[in-house]
Every structure is written in structure tokens, then in C-alpha cells.
Structure 1
Amino acid sequence: MSSIYPLLSREIHRLHGQFVDCQSQLTQLAEHPEALHDLRVSLRQLRSLLRPLRHFPEIAAFDAVLSKVISQSNRVRDMEVLVAELQAKQQATLYQHYQLQLTSFYSLLAAHIETDIELIIQRLMTLPLYWQHHSAVLPHKKLEKHVVRYCLHYQQQLKKHLKSKKTIDKHHLRLLVKKLRYALESYGQFLTLNPKLQIQLKKTQEAIGNWHDRSVWLELANHEEALQVLVTTWQTELQHHEHLADKQLGKLLRRLRE
């Protein structure tokens, strides 16, 4: 096999181990504070690895399963972040209230995704054979070029949005930054890139993520009166983190131009 196929096999083997670990903690999410985060990181890493290969029907179907599990866990992860914020703000009564909700969410999520996690693990066990088959019918250079084009497409798309004179949609930019960052983590060895770009992508993602969290909490506060006590604080923090995010986006554009 060529260089890209061993890479795929190594990554699939690594991710298989991560999903087995996540599966063992699925019914005890409340006792393992990082368990859901670890599961979502593994899902994103796997999706990033497979996303350029979705022209294979089997991979497209598998990606749909991964996407479903991520979507089902979004609300629970948002609640985790909110609970951590309430604890940090020393809002004891609110913390206890939402912590109880979170415990309930954990149980519901585990029940909803248990079958899909088992399916993911089983599918990961068969993927190395799948790569071995395709290494014989799809020239590795052709696949590598396809992967490089995929990564460059997201890089150019992100640069285009950052250079635009129109108002920047930070929610959309956040997704583009994440997609490019994870794509480069998977396939960066096939591109000639400044290593500082990956560092700047991470900093930018964190900065926009802090802004995004406040926007989510403020939206939630519009529907939950109990959170109104923190609205003024979150609005101030939102402006602060928006300023920091803009600075990191400017630095990112400079990195993309290098």
C-alpha cells in the first residue's frame, strides 16, 4: 500500500481504540466529566478523516451515522458547558438545577446513541480491509491529489470569507475554521504548509468558541427566565470575546496569505 492507505489504516486503528474506551463510559457519563467531550472529539476526527472520501458510497453512509450522533449530542454538550459556566460564576442554585437536567440528558443520550456507537466500532474493524481493496483499484497518487484538493478548497474558502468586505458571519466562520483545522490534522503531511497555520487555527477556534458560548447562553436566556440574572454579564463578555475573535481572525488571514 502507498503512504495514504497506511495512514488511513493507522488512524482507523487508533480511533477504534478511542471509541471502545468511549463505549465503556457511555452509561456513566455523569461520572466521567470528559467522556462526552472525548466522544465528540473522536467523532470529529473520524469525520475529518473520512470527509474527503465520501465519494465512496460506503463512506457516505458511514458519515451519515457519525453526523447523526454528533447532532444528538450537541444539546448535551451545550448543557455541559453551561453547567461549568454556572459553577464558575458561583450560581449555586442555578448550577444544581441545570446539573440535574444534565444528568437526565446523559441517560437519554446514552440510550439514543448506544446502537450507533456499536455500529461505528464494528464498521471501524472492517475499514482496513476496505482500504486494502481500494489500494488495488484506486491509485494512491490519485487519492492523494483528491485529498489535497479537498484541503485546499477549505483553505481558499476560509480565506475568501475572511477577505470579504461583507459582515462576517462568525457562526459560519467557526465551522470553516474547525473543518480546515481537523482536515489538516488528518492530511496536513500531504501539503506544504506553514506549521504556524495549524497553531493559529486552534487559537482562532478557541477565540470564536468563547464568543459562540456566550451567544448560545444569551439565546437560552431569552427562553429561560432563571438565567436572566447573568444576561448583563454575558453581554459584556460577548463583546469582549468578539473583539478577541476578530483579532485572531485577522492573524489567521495573515497566516493564510503567507
Structure 2
Amino acid sequence: MDFLDVVVARVIGIEVDLFHAYARVVSETDAEALHDFRIGQRRLRSLLKTLGMKSISADLEKATSAVGKMTTPVRDLEVMAEELERHGLIELAQLRRLKVSYWYKTADENPLIRGLFTELADWPDTFRREIGYIHIRHLKKRTTRSISRQLQRLSLALSDPAHDRHDIRLRIKHARYSQEAYPELYPLPGHLLSELKKLQSSLGSWHDCHQWCLKAKVEPDLEALIATWSQAKSEALQAAEQRITPLAVELAKFLELKAT
């Protein structure tokens, strides 16, 4: 199988996963359905952006981005409900779950989601038709260079004590999705992937707590948890900071060896 076929096969695989997650969403079968649907969108966007064929993938990327933005507040409500339940605030959680459930019930008619699936269905044929012989010859090399540059930028960010931690979280997320999309092109050692995942988790917890504290300022029923979230935020950031420097050293060593 040549690399063009690999790309198409992986896009179709993500399409299948999205359909499956979407069916769970509209049927309200489980609490992870929307999360899995959004993960599939992120995997797709990472695959397309790393590929770098903007002229061919622009419509699909736009459709994916639109659905991602549209589902973000719904997923935020879902996560908040889980957090409130964890603290025993069942009534407050239920208020938010009712809003989530209403969105689930209307998702089947959502034009943005339908548009995403239409673009997904059309993309493989468009990709094969439009890519051209020159691009086919260099597609694998270009994608490999894209992953390499992505990791180089992440390495620089990790090595900079002043670099925005939210940006580092996003760079790690993109790097991990690129590894998943094209594991054969520029594979990271297992221990590095594991450390990236742990750092992303710590920074994710820090980010969540920060957002919840901000939300509590405009939603009075959350005020009682501000102190708890502030403490958790500090602990998560401390855990992240302890991982950043060792990871920066390890990633820099790996990239240096790859360059020789």
C-alpha cells in the first residue's frame, strides 16, 4: 500500500469511528459518546493539518472546525456535571445534564454535523483526483518534515521557562495526534510518548480548574468550589512543572540523534 492509500484508509477509519460515536450521541447510550466524537474530529484535523494539503482539505477542515466549536460548550457542560457529581452536588449536576440531553436529542438534525459527514464522504475521491503526480511523489517526505518541525517547535517551547503553559498543552496534544495519525513516519520512543501524555494530563487538569474558577465568577451556584478548584489548579501546575524540564531534555536528545 502506497502512502496515498494509507492516508485515505486512515481518513475512512476515522469516518467509521465518527459514525459510531455519533450514533451513540443521538441514542444517548453513554457519557463518553460526545467525548469520543470530539476525539475523532481532533484526530481528523491533526491528520489533515500534518498532511499540509490545504487546497484539497480546506472544506473538510472547515467543517470539522465548525463542529468542534459547536460541541465545545456542550462537552464543557458534560464535564462540569461530572465534576459536580464528584463533589456530591447532584442537583447542580442534573441541571447541566438536562441541557446536554436536550442537545443530544437535537443532534440528529444538526446541519453542521451533516455537513461534516458529507465532506468526509467526498474527501477520498477529491484527494485522489486533485493531488497530482508531483505531490504524490513527495507526499510522504513532506508529511514527515511536518511532523519533525512540529516536534522541534514543541522542544523549543518545553525548553523555554517563560513559554505559555496553555500553548505547551496544545502543542503536546497536536504532537500526540500526529504520532497516532502517522506512526510509521517519525515515531517517538514509547517512554517519550508516555511522558508527553502525563504532562498533557497534568496541564489539562490545570487548565480545567482554571476555566472552572473563571466560570464560577459568573455562575453563582459554583462559588462554593472556587477554593477547591484553586488548590487543585496549583497542585496540577506544580506536577506539570516537575515534568517539563526532564521531558525537554529527553525530547531534545531524541531530536538531536534523529538529525545525525
TM-score (norm 2): 0.88
State the shift of 1:54 in Å: 4.3
Contact 1:5 1:135 in 2 (8 A): no
Give secondary structure in 2 for the equivalent of 1:223. coil
Distance 1:129 1:237, change over 3 A: same
Distance 1:138 1:240, change over 3 A: same
Contact 2:192 2:247 in 1 (8 A): yes
**2:10 pairs with 1:14:** no
1:53 corresponds to: 51
Distance 1:24 1:242, change over 3 A: same
Cα deviations across residues 210-239 of structure 1 (Å, max 9, x unaligned)?
111111110100111111111111111111
State the shift of 1:81 in Å: 1.0
Equivalent of 1:200 in 195, 198, 215: 195
Distance 1:136 1:96, change over 3 A: closer
What stretches of structure 2 of length at least 5 have no aligned partner? 254-260
State the shift of 1:23 in Å: 3.3
Cα deviations across residues 116-163 of structure 1 (Å, max 9, x unaligned)?
333333333333333433565235441112111211221111111121
Which has the bigger relative contact order, CA under 8 A and spacing at least 6? 1
* Paired-residue identity, %: 26
Give secondary structure in 2 for the equivalent of 1:138. helix
1:137 corresponds to: 133
**2:63 pairs with 1:65:** yes
**2:82 pairs with 1:87:** no
Equivalent of 2:34 in 29, 33, 36: 36
Equivalent of 1:156 in 152, 155, 162: 152
**2:187 pairs with 1:189:** no
Give secondary structure in 2 for the equivalent of 1:25. helix
Equivalent of 1:103 in 88, 92, 101: 101
Cα deviations across residues 142-195 of structure 1 (Å, max 9, x unaligned)?
1112111211221111111121242x3221111111111101111231125323
2:256 corresponds to: none
TM-score (norm 1): 0.88
State the shift of 1:252 in Å: 2.4
Provide the aligned C-alpha RMSD in A: 2.2
State the shift of 1:205 in Å: 1.3
What stretches of structure 1 of length at least 5 have no aligned partner? none
Letter in 2 for 1:163: S
Give secondary structure in 2 for the equivalent of 1:212. helix
Count of residues in correspondence between the two structures: 253
